[in-house]
Amino acid sequence: MRLAAKVTSKRNGGLRILLVEDEQKVAKALQEGLEAESYSVTLAHTGEDGFFRISSEPFDLAVLDVMLPGRSGIEILSAMRRQGIKIPVLLLTAKDAIEDRVLGLDAGADDYLVKPFAFPELSARIRALLRRGKSEAAVVALSMADLQMDLLGRTVTRGATTLDLTAREFELLEYLLLHNGQVVSREMLARDVWRETARHTPLDNVIDVHIARIRRKVDDGFSPKLVHTVRGVGFVLKAERL
């Protein structure tokens, strides 16, 4: 864990995030979680405070709750966009009504997340938003420890052994490798790997079976173990023990 923190601190160090959330517990948890990923997090509990902070201090990204006492997240968002503040904004909403999403995106939100969400999901979205706009070299190979994935030849090897993966397993492993050391939730897998619009129980079971198979193929007879289940949260590909 400490090692992971070091890795991410290199990546996220100095990036400032404004978090506007009135629910104290949620706010505290998100702040700690994001700080563990080495972001510098400023917390605001009301819409007014949030808007004051955002107009007076420089931030790299804002996470706004939609339902806030005083000014709603969407009001803050439109006001700051009118002021010409262009930083990426992630909206948190308790309603998944389509109108709400459309309203948020119309007001200038870059992304939205419906509560309740898994923390890894929030973290992944934030990373994606911060990465946005920066050109990245096309990834042709991924690796972790002695696991090598060749994206062009679509082959996977562990040490000297070539692993025989199905198309779905390959995609799943690629997704885990891309989230280098970050936990991915079942929601993320359902959406990004299976491309299902609705998450449902049968799909969770399907995901579990695939993870079990990947684990068998990647880890059986090899060391260190790479595929780990974080109970209640999701899965992570890591070289060290949790």
Partner 1 sequence: MNALQPRNVRARLTAWYVAVLAGVLLLYVGGASALVFFQLRSELDRFGIDDLETIEGLLSFGADGKLALHSDYHDHPYPANMQDRLLEVWSGDASLLYRNELLGNRVLGEKPETGEGAEGYSIRSIRMSDGTPARVVSKKHLLDGQPTLIRVGYSEEPLWQHFWQIAIGMIAGLPLALGLAGMGGYFLARHSLSPIERMARRVNEINAERLSARLVVENPDDELGVLAKAFNETLARLEGSFEQLRRFTSDASHELRTPLTAIRSVGEVGLQKQGAIEDYRETIGSMLEEAGRLSHLVDSLLMIARAESGQVRLVRTTISLLPFVRETASVLDVLAEEKGQHVSIRGDETVQVQADGAILRQVLINLLDNAIKYSPSGAPISMRVSMSSDDQMAAVGIADNGPGIPPEHRKKIFDRFYRVDEGRSREAGGTGLGLAIAKWGAEAHGGQLDLQCPAAGGCIFRLRLPVAGRTSVKIRSEALTAVQVHSEAPTDTLQASVVFFRH
Residues that bind partner 1 (CB under 8 A): 96, 116, 194, 196-206, 209-210, 213, 230-233, 242
Write down the H helix ranges in 37-93. Answer: 47-56, 73-82
**Minimum separation from the CB atom of position 22 to partner 1 (A):** 20
Residue 12 or 93: the one with the smaller Cβ distance to partner 1 is 93
Residue 76 or 184: the one with the smaller Cβ distance to partner 1 is 184
| Start-to-end CA span in the chain (Å) | 7
Residue 28 or 200: the one with the smaller Cβ distance to partner 1 is 200
**Minimum separation from the CB atom of position 104 to partner 1 (A):** 19
Residue 151 or 203: the one with the smaller Cβ distance to partner 1 is 203
119: left (phi over 0), alpha (psi -120 to 50) or beta: alpha
**Minimum separation from the CB atom of position 201 to partner 1 (A):** 5
Which among 115, 57, 53 is positioned nearest to 90, based on CA atoms?
115
**Minimum separation from the CB atom of position 168 to partner 1 (A):** 8
**Minimum separation from the CB atom of position 221 to partner 1 (A):** 21
Buried b (16+ CB within 10 A) or exposed e, 179-207: bbbbbbbbbbbbebbbeeeeeeeeeeebb
Residue 171 or 196: the one with the smaller Cβ distance to partner 1 is 196
